[in-house]
Amino acid sequence: MEIIGHILGFIALFLFIWSYQLREPRPLLLVQTAATALLCLQYFLIGAYSGFALNIVCIVRNILYYHRDKKWLSGWVPPVLLATAMAGVSLFSWEGYHSLLIILGLMINTVCMGVCNTQNLRKSVLLTCSMLAAYNVFVGSVSGFINESLSVASAVIGLIRFTRKGSAGKEEPA
């Protein structure tokens, strides 16, 4: 089962790399939701239950953020509630101190997805994916480590690609 988990992780890797090259927030969220679902399965299959449980919340988060045009989903309240839900879920999936890496990384990413424009979200990925890469080392997920490392590189490419003089701050929230 572990091999299947790693294969799913590599498929997720390619979806994440593709997502960072998308300019528009809604397609980016769709692709990242599919990739997150694969990561969720990967973590379950390799026995990394913090990653599994927290990524279920990430799937819910992505679906809610996709529909952010609804008034009740805009603003800072949904990201804070989702980050709080992650903290609550983490109480039941604690694997040890290395769980803090994925807990904090995904909580920060959740808040940034809710309140940052697309370029600032890419900037946050530099920190959060580094934390998730370290978590993947602890749980023995080679594909997860590669995924997060390449996601950092892909986010850098997206930052460079979409940075234009005077336009970086005008993108829509992710």
Q: How far apart are CA 38 and CA 29, in angstroms?
A: 14
Q: What pLDDT, on a 0 to 100 scale, did the predictor assign at position 172?
A: 47
For helices 99-115 and 49-66, give the axis angle rounded to 10 degrees: 0
Q: How far apart are CA 61 and CA 88, in angstroms?
A: 15
Q: What pLDDT, on a 0 to 100 scale, did the predictor assign at position 164?
A: 66
% of the chain surpassing 90 pLDDT: 52
Q: Is the whole model's pTM more than 0.75, yes or no?
A: yes
Low-confidence ranges of the chain (pLDDT < 50): 168-169, 171-174
Residue with tokens 């709080």: 84
User: How many Cα atoms are found within 13 Å in the side-chain-facing hemisphere of 90?
Assistant: 19
